[in-house]
């Protein structure tokens, strides 16, 4: 398992000018970087790939930023915007040499409200329909789409591994897998290790975050059963630290980070990496 870092910990938006971060990530010992692309125009993927290669760092995943106006269960305009955006990220992933598009690739983040069963059924059908189209594009381009359930405060659509697996199976594409995150699982799952085992061969991506969205290992999550579950299912994908701090204001507001989680944000990366290296050994 490779260990990666999500660049949101240090910058938003990530642009071509952000690539000097790669040298720092490599020096700290990370194997991969996860790049949230807020708008495809923000990067020149060939230049970003060249910078990663020069640093000796793999681009392990591209993170979909499903902001306002990008919603596969929303209006016709929102569905179209989400499709154009996600297809563009898949095309950029090819140039980046990146194997996967990850994240809540189904709906705008923050849309969380009580939805009547009839409306739920309608929204589910819309997401499945749109993801089938997106999956065909991903299949042609050789890119995985890894769908992430979020906690109940960030979405009302997909919160648990069970719901995620239901969606993966409904789309029924070799290009679509599940993405689990310890922060969200800590809120929504009865047993995170059991959820990982249930995901099994469908697990395509994994986020290792502290229970407070800080440093993995400096939190109340019981990590040994999670690590054992990953090994038991033969998971070979990336394990990525996706944490946020008040230093990056836009992301702090979006993720409800109102206080310093750690004294220094570098500690989240450096100490989190050291913990995961030991835990995964």
Q: Decide if 19 contacts 57 (C-beta within 8 A).
A: no
Within the chain, residue ranges assigned H as helices are 21-28, 45-55, 76-96, 117-141, 161-171, 182-188, 192-199, 223-232, 249-254, 265-280
Helices 45-55 and 76-96 cross at an angle (nearest 10°) of 40
Beta bridge partners of 195: none
Q: Decide if 240 contacts 272 (C-beta within 8 A).
A: no
Query: Cis (ω within 30 of 0) for the bond into 13?
Result: yes
Helix (H) or strand (E) holding 58: strand 58-64
Beta bridge partners of 192: none
Left (φ > 0), alpha (ψ -120 to 50) or beta: where does 200 sit?
Answer: left
Active site residues per annotation: 148, 242
CA distance 88 to 65: 12
């Amino acid at each position: 398992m490779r260990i990666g870092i999500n660049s949101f910990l240090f910058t938003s938006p990530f642009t071509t000018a952000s690539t000097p971060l790669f040298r720092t990530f490599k020096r700290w010992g990370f194997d991969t970087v996860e790049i949230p692309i807020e708008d495809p125009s923000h990067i020149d993927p060939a230049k970003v790939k060249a910078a990663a290669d020069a640093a000796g760092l793999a681009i392990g995943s591209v993170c979909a930023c499903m902001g306002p106006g990008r919603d596969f269960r929303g209006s016709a305009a929102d569905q179209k915007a989400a499709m154009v955006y996600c297809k563009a990220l898949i095309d950029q992933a090819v140039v980046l040499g990146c194997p996967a598009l990850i994240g809540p690739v189904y709906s705008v983040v923050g849309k969380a409200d009580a939805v009547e069963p009839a409306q739920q059924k309608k929204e589910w059908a819309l997401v499945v329909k749109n993801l089938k189209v997106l999956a065909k594009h991903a299949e042609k381009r050789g890119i995985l789409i890894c769908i992430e359930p979020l906690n109940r405060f960030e979405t009302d659509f997909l919160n648990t591994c069970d719901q995620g697996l239901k969606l993966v199976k409904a789309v029924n594409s070799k290009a679509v897998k599940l993405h689990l995150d310890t922060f969200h699982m800590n809120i929504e799952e009865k047993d995170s290790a059991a959820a990982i085992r249930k995901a099994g061969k469908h697990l395509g991506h994994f986020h290792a975050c502290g229970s407070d969205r800080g440093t993995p290992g400096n939190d109340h999550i019981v990590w040994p059963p999670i690590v054992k579950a990953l090994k038991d299912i033969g998971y070979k994908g990336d394990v990525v630290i996706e944490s946020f701090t008040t230093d990056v204001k836009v992301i702090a507001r979006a993720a409800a980070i109102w206080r310093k989680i750690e004294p220094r944000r570098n500690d989240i990366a450096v100490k989190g990496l050291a913990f995961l290296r030991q835990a995964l050994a």
